[in-house]
Amino acid sequence: KGEADYLAAHIPGAVYAHLERDLSSPHVRGKTGRHPLPALEEFTARLGEWGIDNSTQVVVYDAAGGMVAGRLWWMLRLLGHDATAVLDGGWPQWRQEGRPVRSGVETRAPRHFVANPRPELVATAEEIEARLSSPDLHLFDARASDRFRGENETLDPVGGHIPGAVSAPYVENLGPDGLMLPPEQLAARFAALLGDVPAQEAIFYCGSGVSAAHDVLAAQHAGLPMPRLYVGSWSDWISDGRRPIERG
């Protein structure tokens, strides 16, 4: 649907990034989460095809409050490209303000993108599992609170959360108008969530490594250092039935 909507109308000059095809590698049932990262070489080549090099200012938007756009923003930050922003309010705000639109497929002249990966931004299931009993492990779950509790789970075969995780729904980064909360309000939200935990030591996850990037984005917007992201998230965690889970 998103691709069809893009073809019908989008911000002039915008190219389309498909969550499954461009921002993820194929899901292997029982072995990976629902949205594993694509291979570095493939994604770097795709950025070049989109006309992005290391001097390009990238602006990402969606129609979901920045939830999907945050994934691409985070992936670019992971590759060392800090000149990346998410359009506040995204497509709905653009249309509400009566700004110009265009239909059809957009292309840009290819460029050469050089990745400078920052692996310290990524957490893995193996690391989390090894540190589960450590008081220095600080996990935050970006899904809706009912899914965190193991209720109303419709996307994954098992409900619940990783033991010790704290509920931190990404939707609480947004105001009723669909815009990101002001930095001072986000700072207060993360101060309540993190306590005395340094932001860069916090690990955020969600169902499949998409919406949790929104919490990372919001932390940055609040002026905090960049937290880490468990990309595989809950769908990856439960791919190994030996890993513990909690409900409630």
- Give the residue numbers marked as catalytic: 206
> Which tokens hold the place of 246?
């909690």
Tokens of 24: 């993820």
Strand, helix or coil at 5? helix
The Cα–Cα gap between 163 and 165 comes to 6
Round to whole Å and give the CA distance between 104 and 12.
10
- Phi/psi region, residue 223 (left: phi>0; alpha: psi -120 to 50; beta: rest), is left
The number of beta carbons lying within 10 Å of the beta carbon of residue 184 is 10
> Do residues 124 and 106 make contact, with C-beta atoms less than 8 angstroms apart?
no
